């Protein structure tokens, strides 16, 4: 080890910076595509070979770079996108001037470009940080950048890359993420010589059409549009209904001022907005676009520019939670059509198409003995013995009863499912799940509509905490009082708890108070106890709802349907499962070959 301090070489500095900016091939593609977008490109083509390890090539038709600036482009912290004296108003995706020199330091790098309006283009090569001489290029438009042998001279970085399949999947995910928000640009992705994705540009209703192209029509059909503003911030986009969700957050496309981000504040707000609808292991699918004034947003948090900081975090959180909750509340009975499609396809696949059948009269005559009543056991089955009867009684349905959104009940099967007839099909309702949501909403209205009753503690309990926890809890004494938690500050290291929410029954006071103080420190809000009460409401609703296995008569079934129609969020139970599925009459007729 040397004893004296030395200044690192430019190439070593770039390689160190590359460790933060360039994590994997998808990071390279992201930086190059963002440069193309900043250059006002209308068409961007990406070519991938060997999952990005062998080659990543990006070609655009943007404004291009002239000869002098092309040399400067590979120097560290050189950029055309930022006023040298102002970091508060960043209107481009790139601004740090680190990406190109970082990429060039860890790859066999080549860039060709022609400035718009000029006749001659130029090319510059760099072999793992060793920049060559600039030379003329045959390029006629825009910019072309090719990155080969990524991490070849840094085998430790190469070793920690995932399998080819995983790295390719990450490249595709990044391509989709950048394509959605730039719907006015055509994107093409070629992998190992084969075109994998091609998203055409749109001039009108572009964002929704691009979302449909990228995320899929199934999501589009099971989504709700949101659009709202609060202060200087606004939000718009499409959010998935709760019954259309996934087991991970990979399908959440979040943008701030046109920049794809992965931000804890935003994802936490989304989870909070869906907390009443989804269990913790399910994630909503969505694509949302948040816009704020550039001066109230800090994007210079991390070199990869995926994290942001808001000047007014509370306003952003309130905007996200409020907009999503309002949209979900307004969606009413809407539930995912995926389950209906699954039922239709399942039944359809079990019945061959009518075109496969050919009635042969001669065959029927010759083999009539095979189908004779003496040979058949069908007549021996008494279909009126109750074995095949519905659980509940059936009844005739008048057309006036079918005008309701959920139609009119005709039967109960397996003592848990209500069959309802509508004007254009039939609906199958899970009676327990449906009533669970109804009871849950009623309990919530009773609890949150007025202060919650507190259960006095016979012998007040002293809870010892650190000074920071005491300080935070002291700021919310009145809020907790409304929620039924009564306490006083004893000294700088303890509080005296005099009462707990009556709904909680017996509770571990020490654990409750410590959890609340920790959550308040982490989340900086007073919603933790309400969240706990939501879980209590859910448990009460589950025990207080109509149980599976209970027989209902027609009046009870119809009463349940009418309640569902006026209950918020009745399309799913408290755990995010659908309460009903619908089969359209046209699909039923298709199953039986009538269409």
The pLDDT assigned to 22 comes to: 85
- For residue 552, which phi and psi values (nearest 5 degrees)? -120, 145
State the pLDDT confidence band at 46, using cuts at 50, 70 and 90. very high
The pLDDT assigned to 82 comes to: 59
CA 443 – CA 567 distance, rounded (Å): 12
Q: DSSP secondary-structure letter at 221? A: H
The pLDDT assigned to 171 comes to: 96
Among candidate residues 320, 331, 310, the one with its CA nearest the CA of residue 229: 320
pLDDT, tens only, 381-392: 443 454 445 555
Residues in the chain: 595
The pLDDT assigned to 263 comes to: 87
State the pLDDT confidence band at 544, using cuts at 50, 70 and 90. very low
Q: Going from the N-terminus, what domains does the chain have, and what CATH number goes with each?
A: 10-199 (3.30.565.10), 216-331 (3.30.230.10), 384-595 (3.30.1540.20)
| Half-sphere exposure in the Cβ direction for 568 (13 Å, CA) | 14
The pLDDT assigned to 567 comes to: 87
pLDDT, tens only, 486-519: 999 988 889 999 998 775 567 788 887 887 777 6
CB within 8 Å of 409: residues ≥ 6 apart: 392, 418, 419, 420, 554, 557, 558, 561
Q: Write out the H or E segment, with its range, that includes residue 460.
A: strand 454-464
CA 455 to chain CA centroid, nearest Å = 40
Q: DSSP secondary-structure letter at 23? A: S
Could you tell me where the DSSP H helices lie in 367-523?
431-448, 467-474, 477-482, 509-523
Question: SS3 for 34-90, per residue?
Answer: HHHHHCCCCEEEEEEEHHHCCEEEEEECCCCCCHHHHHHCCCCCCCCCCCCCCCCCC
- What is the rounded average pLDDT of the residues 100-115? 93
The pLDDT assigned to 245 comes to: 87
CA 512 – CA 495 distance, rounded (Å): 13
Q: In the predicted model, is pLDDT for residue 173 greater than 90?
A: yes
Query: Using alpha carbons only, what angle is made at residue 429 by residues 427 and 431, rounded to the nearest 5 degrees?
Result: 160
DSSP assignments along 229-271, one per residue: EETTEEEEEEEE-TTSEESSSTTEEEEETTEE---HHHHHHHH
Query: Using alpha carbons only, what angle is made at residue 48 by residues 43 and 54, rounded to the nearest 5 degrees?
Result: 140
Residue 112 CB burial class (10 angstroms; 0-12, 13-18, ≥19)? buried
Q: Which of 79-93, 166-180, 407-421 has the highest mean pLDDT?
A: 166-180
pLDDT, tens only, 28-43: 999 999 999 999 999 9
Q: Cα(first)–Cα(last) distance of the chain, in Å?
A: 82
The pLDDT assigned to 43 comes to: 96
Among candidate residues 335, 343, 340, the one with its CA nearest the CA of residue 222: 335
The pLDDT assigned to 358 comes to: 46
Q: What is the mean pLDDT of the chain?
A: 80
pLDDT, tens only, 287-331: 999 999 988 888 766 666 678 889 999 999 999 999 999 998 887
pLDDT, tens only, 239-258: 998 888 888 888 999 999 99
Q: Which of 51-65, 278-292, 293-307 has the lowest mean pLDDT?
A: 293-307
- Judge contact between 259 and 93, C-beta under 8 A: yes
pTM of structure:
0.68
CA 576 – CA 578 distance, rounded (Å): 7
- Judge contact between 339 and 430, C-beta under 8 A: no
Q: Which of 31-35, 103-107, 333-337, 458-462 has the lowest mean pLDDT?
A: 333-337
Q: What percent of the chain has pLDDT over 90?
A: 37
Can you read off the two tokens belonging to residue 164?
Answer: 């080819």
Buried b (16+ CB within 10 A) or exposed e, 450-475: eebebbeeeebeebebeeebbebbee
The pLDDT assigned to 322 comes to: 93
């Amino acid at each position: 080890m040397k004893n004296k301090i030395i200044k690192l070489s430019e190439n070593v500095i770039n390689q160190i910076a590359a460790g933060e900016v360039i994590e994997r091939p998808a990071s390279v593609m992201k930086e190059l595509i963002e440069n193309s977008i900043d250059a006002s490109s209308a068409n961007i083509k990406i070519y991938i070979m060997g999952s990005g390890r062998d080659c990543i090539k990006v070609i655009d038709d943007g404004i291009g770079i002239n000869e002098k600036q092309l040399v400067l482009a590979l120097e560290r912290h050189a950029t055309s996108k930022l006023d040298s004296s102002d970091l508060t108003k960043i209107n481009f995706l790139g601004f740090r001037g680190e990406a190109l020199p970082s990429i060039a330091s860890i790859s066999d790098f080549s860039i060709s470009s022609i400035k718009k309006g000029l006749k001659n283009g130029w090319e510059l090569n760099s072999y793992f940080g060793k920049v060559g001489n600039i030379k003329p290029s045959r390029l006629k438009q825009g910019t072309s950048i090719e990155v080969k042998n990524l991490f070849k001279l840094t085998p430790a970085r190469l070793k920690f890359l995932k399998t080819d399949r995983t790295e390719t999947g990450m490249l595709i995910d990044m391509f989709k993420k950048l394509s959605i928000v730039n719907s006015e640009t055509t994107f093409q992705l070629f992998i190992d010589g084969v075109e994998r994705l091609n998203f055409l540009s749109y001039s009108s209703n572009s964002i929704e059409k691009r979302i449909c192209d990228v995320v899929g029509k199934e999501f589009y059909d099971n989504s709700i549009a949101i659009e709202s503003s609060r202060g200087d911030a606004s939000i718009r986009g499409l959010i998935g209904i709760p019954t259309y969700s996934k087991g991970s957050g990979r399908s959440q496309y979040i943008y701030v001022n046109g920049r794809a981000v992965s931000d804890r504040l935003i994802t936490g707000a989304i989870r909070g907005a869906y907390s009443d609808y989804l269990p913790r292991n399910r994630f909503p699918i969505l694509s949302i676009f948040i816009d704020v004034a550039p001066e109230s947003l800090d994007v210079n948090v991390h070199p990869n520019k995926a994290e942001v900081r808001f000047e007014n975090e509370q306003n952003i959180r309130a905007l996200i939670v409020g907009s999503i909750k309002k949209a979900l509340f307004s969606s009413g009975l809407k539930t995912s059509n995926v389950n209906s499609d699954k039922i239709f396809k399942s039944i359809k696949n079990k019945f061959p198409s009518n075109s496969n059948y050919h009635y042969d009269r001669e065959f029927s005559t010759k083999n009539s003995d095979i189908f004779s009543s003496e040979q058949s056991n069908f007549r021996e089955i008494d279909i009126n013995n109750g074995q095949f009867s519905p659980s509940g009684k059936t009844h005739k349905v008048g057309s006036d009863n079918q005008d309701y959104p959920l139609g009119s009940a005709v039967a109960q099967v397996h003592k848990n499912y209500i069959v309802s007839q509508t004007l254009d099909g039939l609906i199958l309702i899970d009676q327990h799940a449906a009533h669970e949501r109804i009871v849950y909403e009623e309990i919530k209205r009773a609890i949150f509509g007025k202060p919650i009753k507190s259960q006095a503690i016979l012998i007040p309990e002293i809870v010892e905490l650190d000074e920071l926890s005491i300080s935070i809890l002291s700021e919310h004494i009145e809020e907790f009082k409304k929620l039924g938690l009564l306490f006083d500050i004893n000294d700088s290291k303890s509080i005296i708890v005099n009462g707990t929410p009556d709904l909680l029954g017996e509770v571990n006071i020490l654990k409750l108070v410590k959890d609340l103080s920790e959550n308040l420190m982490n989340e900086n809000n007073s919603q933790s106890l309400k969240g706990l009460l939501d879980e209590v409401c859910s448990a009460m609703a589950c025990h207080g709802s109509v149980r599976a296995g209970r027989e209902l008569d027609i009046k009870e079934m119809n009463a349940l349907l009418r309640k569902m129609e006026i209950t918020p969020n009745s399309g799913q139970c408290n755990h995010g499962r659908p309460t009903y599925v619908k089969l359209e009459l046209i699909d039923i007729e298709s199953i039986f070959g009538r269409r």
